[in-house]
A and B are shown apart, each in its own frame.
Chain A
Amino acid sequence: GDSVTQMEGPVTLSEEAFLTINCTYTATGYPSLFWYVQYPGEGLQLLLKATKADDKGSNKGFEATYRKETTSFHLEKGSVQVSDSAVYFCALSIIQGAQKLVFGQGTRLTINP
């Protein structure tokens, strides 16, 4: 079935460090791919997305490229800030009657000053 696997957390970095959170997916067809972020006590909000192979999504300094050949959508940021501390979810979107989002297990990121 369709699934998303992302790197195990928690991840702890110092401010201004480089961030990579790995995400790979299994899907029939051509899903759209997303990164969502969840700040403490809040719901999920979209961080970035890519709808076809080789597309790059970017927002707030974060980037991810849809790699069909490696079925990956790794999240990167060149210099993280304390305010980036949150839980990050990789997800894919397929049509199963209606749009269905399948999420990875989430990666908790903590940035220390």
Chain B
Amino acid sequence: DTAVSQTPKYLVTQMGNDKSIKCEQNLGHDTMYWYKQDSKKFLKIMFSYNNKELIINETVPNRFSPKSPDKAHLNLHINSLELGDSAVYFCASSQDRVGTEAFFGQGTRLTVV
């Protein structure tokens, strides 16, 4: 059983389109995250949710809208895609205590053409 699963693994789309990436965790964690990894492998947190409530929003354009229907799911919807949105997006989850391990999904490689 995959602990943190995200779909799709690859996404190629045209500029201006709207797309969603789904994430589910079966670890019973309270906290879920979205991270963006650029072409140089730099990882930057985008959002953090705790028990379905938005906790961290790191100056992400409002074209990006996370949605957490329940604490096991955190989806990412992106409107009006731009070339600069091309990256690998990682979902992760952890318990809500500092020092606990974060579990990552396999990533979604988004390519905007």
A interface: dominant SS = strand
| Among listed A17-25, A38-46, A67-75, interface-contacting one | A38-46
Inter-chain contacts of A81 with B (CB < 8 A): none
Best-surrounded residue of A34, A93, A99, A102 (most CB of chain B within 10 A): A99
- Pick the contact of A105 from B42, B94, B95 — CB < 8 Å? B42
B27 in the interface (beta carbon within 8 A): no
When C-beta atoms are compared, the residue in chain A nearest to B106 turns out to be A43
Q: How many A-B residue pairs have CB under 8 A?
A: 77
**Count of chain A residues with a beta carbon within 8 Å of a chain B beta carbon:** 28
Q: How far is the CA of A105 from the CA of B90 in the complex (A)?
A: 15
Inter-chain contacts of A87 with B (CB < 8 A): 41
Q: How far is the CA of A105 from the CA of B49 in the complex (A)?
A: 23
| Among listed B60-68, B73-81, B96-104, interface-contacting one | B96-104
Query: What does the 1/0 interface line of B86-113 toward A look like (CB < 8 Å)?
Result: 0000101011111111101111000000
B50 in the interface (beta carbon within 8 A): yes
Given known contacts A43-B104, A103-B43, A93 and B99 CB-to-CB distance under 8 angstroms: yes
Given known contacts A43-B105, A103-B43, A98 and B99 CB-to-CB distance under 8 angstroms: no
Best-surrounded residue of B40, B41, B42 (most CB of chain A within 10 A): B41
Is B104 a contact of A99 with CB atoms below 8 Å?
no
Is B48 a contact of A49 with CB atoms below 8 Å?
no
Q: How far is the CA of A44 from the CA of B41 in the complex (A)?
A: 11
Is B101 a contact of A106 with CB atoms below 8 Å?
no
Is A100 a contact of B101 with CB atoms below 8 Å?
no
Q: What are 10 A-B contacts with C-beta separation under 8 Å?
A: A32-B98, A42-B106, A43-B106, A44-B104, A46-B102, A98-B55, A99-B100, A103-B42, A105-B41, A105-B42
- List 13 additional A-B contacts (Cβ < 8 Å) besides A43-B92, A46-B101: A38-B41, A43-B4, A43-B107, A44-B104, A93-B100, A95-B98, A96-B56, A97-B48, A97-B55, A101-B33, A102-B45, A105-B41, A106-B42
